[in-house]
Amino acid sequence: MELVELVDVEGRPTGSATVAEAHREPGQLHRAFSVLLVDAAGRTLLQQRAAVKTRFPLRWANACCGHPKPAEPVADAAARRMAEELGLSGVALTEIGVYLYRAADPQTGRVEHEYDHVLLGRIDPAAPIRPDPAEVADLHWELPEALRTALDSSPERYAPWLAGVAAYLPTRPGAAAS
């Protein structure tokens, strides 16, 4: 049974719970991470979550998401999940912010209530990505401006955390995150 680290609104550990318990209504605030991967042209990699996901299946999200185990460093957990979900390893990640949110999934009845560490990595779009079909239905590269427009016009197509996470995307290729 996989555990997540429960936290307070300042990100201080308060205990642990199973993934299932943490995502049961009303949702327990827990540590998570969202990885943004960008290329030299400034595009970001999006993944369509697999149909079997228990929260927000088939919605488009950032390149990789997950939960560190209690006391596991966030960057280590993100590297582990990128290897599991995308078959990527060796990508340098930098934490660029934290996004606190709560969202209920009307389709599954599960709740995301997360203290979400946002990490940024830069990759070559020609890098071999081998998504796990149990995790990822599809991949797509998108410019931040086009993503923001799509999030405004069709929010139901996207994971509810994506707009808050995407706000950290660099505004120009090669620029630092905003």
23 found inside a domain: yes
173 found inside a domain: no
Tokens of 169: 């995307």
Quote the CA–CA distance of 29 and 10 in Å, as a whole number: 11
Supply the pLDDT for residue 172. 63
172 found inside a domain: no
β partners of residue 36: 120
The domain that contains 16 carries what CATH number? Answer: 3.90.79.10
Domain enclosing residue 46, as ranges: 3-166
Calculate mean pLDDT across residues 101-114.
93
**35: closest CA among 74, 87, 90?**
74
37 found inside a domain: yes
Quote the CA–CA distance of 178 and 80 in Å, as a whole number: 26
Average pLDDT of the chain?
94
175 found inside a domain: no
42 found inside a domain: yes
Q: Is 145 a catalytic residue?
A: no
176 found inside a domain: no
The number of domains in the chain is 1
Supply the pLDDT for residue 173. 59
Supply the pLDDT for residue 177. 53
pTM over cut 0.85: yes
Q: Is 64 a catalytic residue?
A: no
Neighbours of 170 (CB within 10 A): 18
Which listed residue (5, 85, 114, 135) is catalytic? Answer: 114
143 found inside a domain: yes
Supply the pLDDT for residue 1. 86
Which listed residue (65, 85, 112, 135) is catalytic? Answer: 65
